[in-house]
Structure 1
């Protein structure tokens, strides 16, 4: 018969042995990336001449289907004009590049880092396409930025520089490759490859082209034919309480609408086609309920 003292001693020894066993580390979820995060965890992008802002990415519902028979209130208030730090350079959200923090803080003359659009920018400038930043690359990118008034002009291949190149390529004939179907009626063309959008009637471009931001990898903007079915000038998302000025829904929760922050980011939207406030306001006056939308391509980086 085992005594109580013996049982207690055995229990103590067992607990001590367990305490000495190696303990597997507790798995922790990776922190969510910041809106301007690219590449490695220590490579973050920030507005080149301003502090980052957490309001960068206006989130809209992915599949919040708005009532198709809804009528816009007669007393709908016009969306407010956004006055943000980046508005000071030639219009809303225009040409303040997103660069590594040291490029913004120290105001370096020439960035030694390869940007998120390095290869695409090298290809556009007809440089050696290797995805690596060289002194020659920096000089060429910086010259383009200075010509196009992109600040800071430090030769970093960021989203604003890439977007400006795509807009220049689109030019006055964005449908030169005939990727958007030509119809006798209005068609809103959404080019995911170049991140530009325009409206054409027949072969005539009646709006744009303008830069845009489409859906990110997890929430891509759905391709194919769609129809504008509901519009609201001063809409607010019922799911996220987020402003969606000049919204024009064309497929479930996906829509054209303005954002009050920049559209030039390395990540995309939650599926909507984001526009600057001025462009969304102009598009509002061009499209009508029942107009067709055609989406094709693939957002770079997704």
Structure 2
């Protein structure tokens, strides 16, 4: 009898307790070191840095946020001077050329640079030097996704509201019965070693004003869907930084609009993998 009881207790310890926690899951002890190594190596092959130092940034007219592009170290700060076109082809040159209906050869020309600069100016990407870096590439992906976000059929088509989170393109939208009811918006998912988990979930907790008990940072319009991972707004640039601690970050206004659309128990479907750049 005693042996049977011991065996049952040992077996029970292998199964997690049911029910998701209402707070973010703490990272493992090894995570900060791995994240630091990644931060040091980010864009190492291209040696990319923010094109405008934080100390030199100015708010855009009307208070609209400016998205800071990552450029070669030799060109950092160039956007603050008279608009000079870069001769360098960025890692997303071909994608930008294709979207702008130019010859997609991946090589920079004077015409390519002028077209990419106009695109950057329109979408508040600085410095607008024509260098197609990660931010320009992200905006191109967002605009292409808005035409038909579920064209590849990755997000399940259900009669109920479904929040579709595409980590590959770093966008999310909401659809219902095959119709998009919340247009694609940019997201920032988990950084390396803290990746946003993929799978099918349901929103289990909503808190309009929430403070992370692990990181002590505001999480406005938080809608939790998987063991502490949530949709929530951020005040900083959605394209800045390595990523979140696992949550799906949105701009403050996008998070607010999503808050008024989704409800508890709504479906959330997450797939893909965040681009390394």
- TM interval, short-chain normalised: 0.7 to 0.9
Paired position in structure 2 for 1:166:
141
| 2:211 is aligned with 1:206 | no
| 2:150 is aligned with 1:175 | yes
1:102-147 residue CA offsets vs partner (Å, 9 max, x unmatched):
32444551124443544543554454455x6555543342232244
Paired position in structure 2 for 1:38:
43
| Matched position secondary structure for 1:111 | coil
Alignment of 1:110-121 (within 5 A): 110-121=85-96
| Matched position secondary structure for 1:258 | strand
* Counterpart selection for 1:259 from 234, 255, 260: 234
Q: Which has the higher contact order (CA 8 A, sep 6+)?
A: 1
In 1, Cα distance between equivalents of 2:251 and 2:62? 13
Query: Offset at 1:194?
Result: 1.4
1:79-113 residue CA offsets vs partner (Å, 9 max, x unmatched):
xxxxxx55x35765454544452324445511244
Query: Offset at 1:209?
Result: 1.1
- Is the 2:51–2:77 Cα contact (8 Å) retained in structure 1? no
Paired position in structure 2 for 1:51:
55
In 1, Cα distance between equivalents of 2:42 and 2:189? 17
- Is the 1:186–1:201 Cα contact (8 Å) retained in structure 2? yes
CA RMSD, 1 decimal:
3.2
Max Rg structure: 1
The alignment covers a number of residue pairs equal to 240
Would you identify which runs of 4 or more consecutive aligned residues in structure 1 move more than 6 Å? none
- TM-score by length of structure 1 reads 0.68
Unaligned stretches of 5+ residues in structure 2: 1-33
Answer 1 or 2: which has greater helix percent: 2
Which sits farther off after the overlay, 238-247 or 110-119?
A: 110-119
In 2, Cα distance between equivalents of 1:243 and 1:47? 26
Query: Offset at 1:236?
Result: 0.7
